[in-house]
Amino acid sequence: MTQTSQSYSAKDEATSFLAKRTAWDRAKILLKKSPNTARFGMIVIAAYVIVAVFAPWIAPYGQAEVFPVPYAPWGGDHMFGTDQIGRDILSRMIYGARNTVGIAFATTILAFLIGASLGLAAAINRSWLDQFISRSVDVLMAIPSLIFALVLLSIFGSSVINLIIIIAVLDSTRVFRLTRAVAVNVVVMDYVEAAKLRGEGLGWIMRREILPNIMPPLVAEFGLRFCFVFLTIAALSFLGVGIQPPTADWGSMVRENASLIQFAQYDLKAGLTPLLPAAAIALLTVAVNFVVDWFLHHTSGIKD
Amino acid sequence: MHPVLTTVLQRLGLGFLTLFVVSFIIFASIELLPGDFGQAVLGQAATEETVAAFRKELGLDQPAYIRYFEWAGNVLQGDLGTSFSGRASSGVDRSRPVLDLVGPRLENTLFLAGMTAAIAVPLALFLGITTALYRNSIYDRTVNAATLTTISFPEFFVAYILILFLASLNPIFPSLANIDTSTEFWDRIYRSALPALTLTLVIVAHMMRMTRAAIINLLASPYIQMARLTGASQREVILKHALPNAWAPIATVIAFNLAYLVVGVVVVEVVFVYPGIGQLMVDSVTSRDIPVVQACALIFAITYILLNLIADVIGIITNPRLLHPK
């Protein structure tokens, strides 16, 4: 008695029906369930990234190109007019996305590299190293970071590299605190112990055993940290000690065109010019906050 | 000794240790200056003698730890050193003591911070308590949405929006807050209105949300349930039963936000050209006038640390679990 071809095969069913969802499928399902605020946030962030990456193709003029009429009104050749020495505001806004957001992004990544690796090392080591780093971080956090950044910038001078390093180091303290706090709970797990007994080195344990298990809070922190870094850099540039001209940057653009606001009574559009870059900063911060909110809600499983 | 006293003393000791380390860091910043700094301050035409004399005045010919104790001793006696600006390559020294530069401006900043706190704290408490009282009403949602927006806006954005509407389009308040020692008290308040309003908007949001959260958090506890079962109204439950227990977190948040005010004041002073210590610090950073930067940083750091310390101590002494140990 042989079986016919119509017979049931458990193997066939297992392979045909339970095709594993790819990362793409899961992302699609996740997106479908996301609230409107998060979708709005993602669209805004995507738009900023596109503008930042393709700035030279999108912008009508160069970021440092000077035209004969300073403070030109809106419309005509220059959609948002020109600034105090006759540079096209729209082009500078577009390049500003690249400079301001790019620098803030690089700073956040550096802050995470420093903070997360020190935090993991401290959580695993738990000896003099932990004590030493934790106490140093306590002291660094006792000084308001904007003030500390001002002191350091006055010493090292304002260049983009200095700015990135100083803000990254100051912000890595918060990343360190968080990483250490969440990693300490994972370090005591049996599988980490097993890896240690297996003779794995510090680097392996950090990357392969602990990091994957503390990812969600770190990703959320990345978003929030980015907002803080972004606002700090914008504030420093606004104060004139951050990103230096002629590099287009939203913080310094607000400062340069601030006097235009006095003419809002006569020409409302001119009065709005300094608010454009400030609004660009605010919009991105709000968008990132929306996405982080949704992400935290999603990963923590808290349902209101 | 009472355990609360021990904890408070420990916290104070830790606070002063932090102050000491922070003062050391701020002092050490001058160590990191590049070698040719004397030349940079005095100009290219400075003779070797003037540069040498300048270095000697800074004490660069002595070991760092001796200089630290000299500097710290002078600071404790109210001598913050001499500004770098006003020195010429010829050796003519028109520089002013840092204390003269900082003193009057510190007064202005304290005035602005005090005015902000006087508006912001009662407003935040009122909003926090009423939103907790009428939770999930339209009022609650509007206030929540509004505060969420002001939290994520940079300070200068809030400031310029206020200028646009309250100074430029409808000239109610002056957009430049130029005050000096001769300004009358009420005139001073009038001219500082916009900077104070900006700072208020920035810190009210946080304080109000924390007040609301602290009260709502307590509403889930069994004793509140009990109070409800005895027939107390929502108003009674919140004002009589929840609020007294929420004072500790609220006081902590207020102190913490006043500490945040210290940082926010820098940007806001620059926007409104308010002659305070924040603007002085930014100007000195631009001109790399290190003694002034150090003095300002020290003042900011001390205020920040002290306010955080006060927040901690309030948190400890109002905690009933610590007050009545088993």
Query: Residue A303: pLDDT band by 50, 70, 90 thresholds?
Result: very low
Rg (CA), chain B: 25
Nearest CA to B147 out of B165, B160, B130, B164 is that of: B130
* Mean pLDDT score, B147-154: 81
Pairwise CB contact (< 8 Å): B164 & A279: no
* Model confidence pLDDT, tens digit, residues B258-276: 877 877 888 888 888 888 8
Both tokens of residue B199?
């700072």
Query: Is the confidence at residue B213, as pLDDT, over 90?
Result: no
Pairwise CB contact (< 8 Å): A147 & B301: yes
Pairwise CB contact (< 8 Å): A234 & B154: yes
**How far A116 CA sits from the closest chain B CA (Å)?**
24
Which residues, 6+ apart, have CB-to-CB distance to B270 below 8 Å? A238, A239, B278, B279, B282
- Closest chain B residue to A252 measured between Cα atoms? B156
Pairwise CB contact (< 8 Å): B26 & A271: no
Q: Cβ-count burial of B238 within 10 angstroms (0-12 exposed, 13-18 middle, 19+ buried)?
A: buried
Contact A218, A178 (CB under 8 A): yes
| Cβ contacts of B296 on chain A, cutoff 8 Å | 147
Q: Distance of alpha carbon A172 from its chain centroid, rounded? A: 13
For B160, which of A234, A261, A286 is closest by C-beta distance?
A: A261
Nearest CA to B302 out of B4, B30, B72, B65 is that of: B72
Contact A148, A170 (CB under 8 A): yes
Which amino acid does the sequence have at A166? I
C-alpha span between B290 and A242 (Å, rounded): 17
Helix (H) or strand (E) holding B159: helix B155-163
Query: Residue A130: pLDDT band by 50, 70, 90 thresholds?
Result: confident
**How far A84 CA sits from the closest chain B CA (Å)?**
18
| Cβ contacts of B285 on chain A, cutoff 8 Å | 150-151, 153-154, 239, 241
Q: Is B162 on the interface with A (CB under 8 A)?
A: no
Query: Is the confidence at residue B322, as pLDDT, over 80?
Result: no
Interface test with B, best of A136, A239, A249 (most B CBs within 10 A): A239
Side-chain half-sphere exposure of A131, counting CA atoms within 13 A: 2
**Domains of chain A by range and CATH?**
35-299 (1.10.3720.10)
- Closest chain A residue to B164 measured between Cα atoms? A261
Which residues, 6+ apart, have CB-to-CB distance to A202 below 8 Å? A121, A124
- Closest chain B residue to A157 measured between Cα atoms? B288
Which residues, 6+ apart, have CB-to-CB distance to B118 below 8 Å? none
Q: Is B161 on the interface with A (CB under 8 A)?
A: yes
Look at residue B146 in the predicted model and tell me its pLDDT.
84
Side-chain half-sphere exposure of A30, counting CA atoms within 13 A: 15
Q: Is B169 on the interface with A (CB under 8 A)?
A: yes
Interface test with A, best of B84, B206, B285, B293 (most A CBs within 10 A): B285
Pairwise CB contact (< 8 Å): B153 & A150: no
Write down the residue that tokens 């996405």 correspond to.
A291
Q: What was the ipTM of the complex prediction?
A: 0.79
**How far B33 CA sits from the closest chain A CA (Å)?**
6
Pairwise CB contact (< 8 Å): B282 & A239: yes
Query: Residue A4: pLDDT band by 50, 70, 90 thresholds?
Result: low
Neighbours of B230 (CB within 10 A): 8
Neighbours of A291 (CB within 10 A): 20
The interface residues of chain B toward chain A in range 116-155, judged by CB-CB distance below 8 A, are 148-149, 152-155
Look at residue B35 in the predicted model and tell me its pLDDT.
56
Q: Is B270 on the interface with A (CB under 8 A)?
A: yes
Across the strands, what pairs with A87?
A: A66
Q: Is B33 on the interface with A (CB under 8 A)?
A: yes
Q: Which of B41-45, B116-120, B154-158 has the lowest mean pLDDT?
A: B41-45
* Mean pLDDT score, A84-106: 87
Write down the residue that tokens 């002595």 correspond to.
B62
C-alpha span between A289 and B64 (Å, rounded): 45
Dihedral through CA B107, CA B108, CA B110, CA B115, nearest 10? 140
Query: Residue A166: pLDDT band by 50, 70, 90 thresholds?
Result: very high
C-alpha span between A232 and B68 (Å, rounded): 30
Look at residue A10 in the predicted model and tell me its pLDDT.
67
For B156, which of A157, A272, A278 is closest by C-beta distance?
A: A278
**How far B211 CA sits from the closest chain A CA (Å)?**
19
Pairwise CB contact (< 8 Å): B160 & A275: yes
Q: Distance of alpha carbon B321 from its chain centroid, rounded? A: 31
Residue % of chain A over a pLDDT of 90: 16
Residue % of chain B over a pLDDT of 90: 1
Residue % of chain A over a pLDDT of 70: 92
What is the SS3 assignment for B245-302? HHHHHHHHHHHHHHHHHHHHHHHHHHHCCCCCHHHHHHHHHHHCCHHHHHHHHHHHHH
Residues of A with CB under 8 A from a CB of B: 138-139, 142-148, 150-157, 227, 231, 234-235, 238-241, 254, 258, 261-265, 268, 271-272, 274-275, 278-279, 281-282, 285-286, 289
Nearest CA to A108 out of A226, A230, A243, A217 is that of: A226
- Residue B277 to residues A232, B23, B176, B215, B283: CA-CA distances in angstroms? 19, 18, 16, 36, 10
For A154, which of B153, B288, B305 is closest by C-beta distance?
A: B288
Q: What 3-state DSSP class applies to B80?
A: coil
DSSP string, A193-260: HHHHHHT--HHHIIIIIIGGGGHHHHHHHHHHHHHHHHHHHHHHHHHTSSSPTTS--HHHHHHHHGGG
Which amino acid does the sequence have at B14? L
- Residue A31 to residues A40, A154, A291, A294, A302: CA-CA distances in angstroms? 12, 46, 11, 11, 18
Pairwise CB contact (< 8 Å): B297 & A150: yes
Look at residue A47 in the predicted model and tell me its pLDDT.
93
C-alpha span between B302 and A67 (Å, rounded): 48
Which amino acid does the sequence have at A34? S
Both tokens of residue B208?
């109000």
Q: Is B298 on the interface with A (CB under 8 A)?
A: no
C-alpha span between B317 and B209 (Å, rounded): 23
Dihedral through CA B63, CA B68, CA B71, CA B74, nearest 10? -110
Interface test with B, best of A139, A143, A169, A257 (most B CBs within 10 A): A143
Both tokens of residue A94?
């577009």
Q: Mean pLDDT score of chain B, rounded to an integer?
A: 80
Task: Extract the runs of DSSP E, i.e. beta strands, from B112-247.
Answer: none
C-alpha span between B301 and B309 (Å, rounded): 12
For B29, which of A155, A271, A278 is closest by C-beta distance?
A: A155
